[in-house]
Every structure is written in C-alpha cells, then in structure tokens.
Structure 1
C-alpha cells in the first residue's frame, strides 16, 4: 500500500467536490452549509467552530451561532468533507473528499500549522493493532506533534 497519491482540490473546485460528496451521501448542500465550508477553507490552519461562526457572521452581516456550525461540521466529518484535529478541537477541509483515508496530522506546536498526510500502511498497522485487542476502530486519527520545517529552521 504505502503513501497514496491523488489530486488535491482547491478553491471553487474543492467546494464543488465537497458538494458532490455531500449529495452522494444523501444530504442537501444548503447555502449555510456552503458558507461554513467556504469559511473553513479560508483559514490557513485548523479553525474552531467559533472561528468559523465569526467568519460566517461577518460575511452574512448577522450573528451565526457556533452550535449551528458544530452541527454542520459534524455532518461534514461524517461525509468525509472535513477532518477534525482532535487535540485542537479544530477542523480542516479535506482536499480530496472523494477518497476515504484515516487521518494522520502533523501539528506544529510553535505556529499551529497542521499538515494532513495519507499513508495507508501506517493507518493499516494502527487498525490491525487495535483489532488484535478486539477493538473495532471506526475513525482513527493520528496526531504527531512537533515543529514544522519553517519553525525547526528558526
């Protein structure tokens, strides 16, 4: 297996890919859901539901509750549109919502930059180790904390 290579979507192409993935999951792509997704993609690092609610509120000129954003984000995570960085309680857009992979995040403790990588052999080993104990893993998330290349050089 090893590292998986695929095209990463960006900009409006990413929004379109997310919309198609959500509709394939049997859900509607509403204006509010699009606003939340677009706000999330505007951040250069993982964003909290509060960050996203504030951004959507600014764009719409009305207050949007973080609880509403949380519900949409939960839906997006379930449909593989968004990944949750557990340790930060924050979210990143999945640049390839048409591929299903376990999450491996490289989290910089200095600047907060988070990089998502796919390595099916690592994910397979984690799932296998869990299964050996009788545990049924559903959505493994691996986070590696350290310093990104920019911060490590500084």
Structure 2
C-alpha cells in the first residue's frame, strides 16, 4: 500500500513504518499493551487485512479469513475484531466507504487523513499533524471537544488520473 508521510512538524518523533512480520509483531505488542489477547483468530484477521492493497470491508476480510481457515467465518465476528483493532490503533476505519486498513505504525497515535480514490478505491493515508491540528483547534473554538479527527478527501489518485 502506498503511504505518503508528510511531516510538517519537527519534534523528535521518529516514525517507524512496519511491514510484514515486523508489522505483525508491532500490532501484537500494541494489542497486548491495551490489555487484549493476540488470539489465533485475531492474527488471522490481521493477516487478511494487511494483504489488501485498498480498504477492505468486513465482508472482504470474512471471505479471506474463511478461505485461509477452511471454514465459514461470519462477518459479525470480523466486525468485533476490527472494532477492537481500531480501538487499539492496529487498524483505521475509512468511514465514507465503511472499510478498514491496517495501520503501518500501530505504536504511534496520529490524526488521520485519507485520500480516497473514487475510481479504484485505493486509500492513501497521510500524516499531517499541522493540518489535523488546525481542524482540532477550529472545533475547539466552536466549543467542540474533538477526539482524533479523521479527514477523508475523495478524488482521483495519480495512477487513475494518468490512465
């Protein structure tokens, strides 16, 4: 999955993008830190989630896990695990398309900006804390206590625009 990371801020935050086995280990650590068990089923759901190159719905993931496990897994149980993953920072939900992506740095808490292509469905996640910080401040000015803002921008990705 293409991840563009634009960091406008210059704090001492080192940004580690995890992939493959390393990502799985980081995800397991993050989940266990939040007081949850890394079960075989949760591992299977995480494995399925990372293999998609676009946001995956609970049904997409249920299908992939069912295939891998050789038995039918209900989307309902997948939803519960995905909600747990979002709560533990292992995954992010792209609200506008009701789908999920694995978080490549489950050890960092960032506000979320997704660039969602309406043509191919690809979602690129970018970090721009100055932008999301402005959104948070604007919300506070309006007397609104914002949790972590999730900003979704719909349009056409470079690949589709160039096609």
Normalising by the smaller structure, the TM-score range is over 0.9
Instruction: State the Cα distance separating 1:139 from its structure 2 match.
Output: 2.7
Partner of 1:69: 78
Describe the SS at the equivalent of 1:105.
Answer: strand
Runs of 4+ in 1 over 6 A off after TM superposition: none
CA distance in 1 between partners of 2:60 and 2:146 (Å):
30
Partner of 1:10: 19
Partner of 1:20: 29
1:25-68 CA-partner distances (Å, limit 9, x unpaired): 11110000000000000111000000000100011111101000
Describe the SS at the equivalent of 2:143.
Answer: coil
The total of aligned residue pairs comes to 154
Name the Cα RMSD after superposition. Answer: 1.2
CA distance in 1 between partners of 2:14 and 2:152 (Å):
20
117-126 or 134-143, which moves further after superposition?
Answer: 134-143
Describe the SS at the equivalent of 1:33.
Answer: helix
User: What TM-score do you get using the length of structure 2 for normalisation?
Assistant: 0.91
Partner of 2:101: 92
Structure 1, unmatched stretches of 5+, are none
CA distance in 1 between partners of 2:128 and 2:118 (Å):
22
1:95-142 CA-partner distances (Å, limit 9, x unpaired): 000010011000111111110000010110010011111111113110
Partner of 1:53: 62
CA distance in 2 between partners of 1:80 and 1:153 (Å):
33
CA distance in 2 between partners of 1:28 and 1:92 (Å):
20
- Counterparts of 1:72-83 in structure 2, within 5 Å, are 72-83=81-92
Structure 2, unmatched stretches of 5+, are 1-6
User: What TM-score do you get using the length of structure 1 for normalisation?
Assistant: 0.96
Describe the SS at the equivalent of 1:46.
Answer: coil
Describe the SS at the equivalent of 1:39.
Answer: helix
